[in-house]
Amino acid sequence: MTDAIKARLYVTDALSAGGSVTLAEDQTHYLRHVLRLAPGDAVALFNGRDGEFRAVIAEASKKTCRLDIEAGLRPFQAAPDVWLCFAPIRQGRIEMIVEKATELGAGRLLPVITRRTQMQKVNTGRLAAHAREAAEQCERLDVPEVAAPVTLEKLLQDWPQDRRLFVCAERSDTQSLLSVAAGTGPCALLIGPEGGFASEELTQIMALPQAVTVSLGPRILRAETAAIAALAILQSARQN
């Protein structure tokens, strides 16, 4: 038996010292056949509400694995109340947005269909799996929600009154995100499609009282770069 933690998994079960968790076939396969763990090996578990716990593989078969929970490692701490709203882009790059947004602490990911969005169908199940794997790797204590895609009109129509919306524009003469992002209240970033928002869409967005147009710098950024840069800037502004 070794004391070092060999893996980290997100589970939906309640977690407490003295309890146990039985893994489904996919996570059992990961532990047993990918990582080649065996009974006695330690695993960290988290569920997005109870914190992080140390568990030990007690029993393992081909399709299931039972973990006995030994002790708490970290109390739960929720991610900042930050949403990332983004126009879907092609496969491969959209997964990068989800992965990096998870690492950078976004609490909710909202695909937004705009007039110039080229990718109309979004596999939210696949993206949610990427978010879960990224949370496991980066040691988050929760997993961001991946919402179902909505049109820009629907997003604006239902926008919460208490949440600021930072609209990442392509114009470098706009006020910088860093200069206006300080604070701790609920907020969101809106990243447009490749080719930018249509002029009519920008008019609709800026009619929203909570919307603030911000710049990410002097260069035109690809959608995935803009999402990563905006979240990094926001994280920095809110830590200072």
Shared domain for 147 and 108, answered yes or no, is yes
Number of domains within the chain: 2
Closest by CA position to 202, among listed 188, 212, 194, 216: 212
Closest by CA position to 213, among listed 172, 162, 175, 186: 175
Distance CA 141, CA 225 (A): 25
Shared domain for 29 and 146, answered yes or no, is no
Shared domain for 45 and 102, answered yes or no, is no
Shared domain for 214 and 103, answered yes or no, is yes
Shared domain for 31 and 101, answered yes or no, is no
CATH number for 87:
3.40.1280.10
Residue range 151-176: mean pLDDT, rounded: 89
In sequence order, what DSSP letters do the residues of 158-190 get, joined into one string?
T--TT-EEEEEES-TTSPBHHHH--SSS-EEEE
Are the beta carbons of 48 and 10 closer than 8 angstroms?
yes
- Name the band, by pLDDT with cuts 50, 70 and 90, for residue 42: very high
State the CB neighbour count (10 A cutoff) for residue 190: 27
Are the beta carbons of 177 and 237 closer than 8 angstroms?
yes
Shared domain for 140 and 233, answered yes or no, is yes
Closest by CA position to 188, among listed 207, 218, 170, 214: 214
Shared domain for 31 and 132, answered yes or no, is no
* Angle (CA) 236 137 217, round 5°: 30
Last residue of a domain, one of 21, 47, 74: 74
Distance CA 166, CA 9 (A): 33
The model's pLDDT over 81-128, given as tens digits with 9 standing for 90+, comes to 999 999 998 878 899 999 999 999 999 999 999 998 888 789 999 999
Alpha helices, H only, 71-220: 93-103, 124-138, 152-157, 177-180, 199-206
- Name the band, by pLDDT with cuts 50, 70 and 90, for residue 230: very high
Position 173 pLDDT exceeds 70:
no
Q: What is the extent of the structural domain holding 114?
A: 82-239
The model's pLDDT over 202-212, given as tens digits with 9 standing for 90+, comes to 999 999 999 99
pTM of the model: 0.90
Shared domain for 101 and 207, answered yes or no, is yes
Shared domain for 118 and 27, answered yes or no, is no
Secondary structure element (H or E) that encloses residue 7, with its range: strand 5-10
Distance CA 30, CA 5 (A): 15
Secondary structure element (H or E) that encloses residue 54, with its range: strand 52-60
β-strand partners of 69:
55
Confidence at residue 240, expressed as pLDDT on a 0 to 100 scale:
52
Shared domain for 139 and 220, answered yes or no, is yes
- What letter represents residue 53's amino acid? F
Shared domain for 151 and 169, answered yes or no, is yes
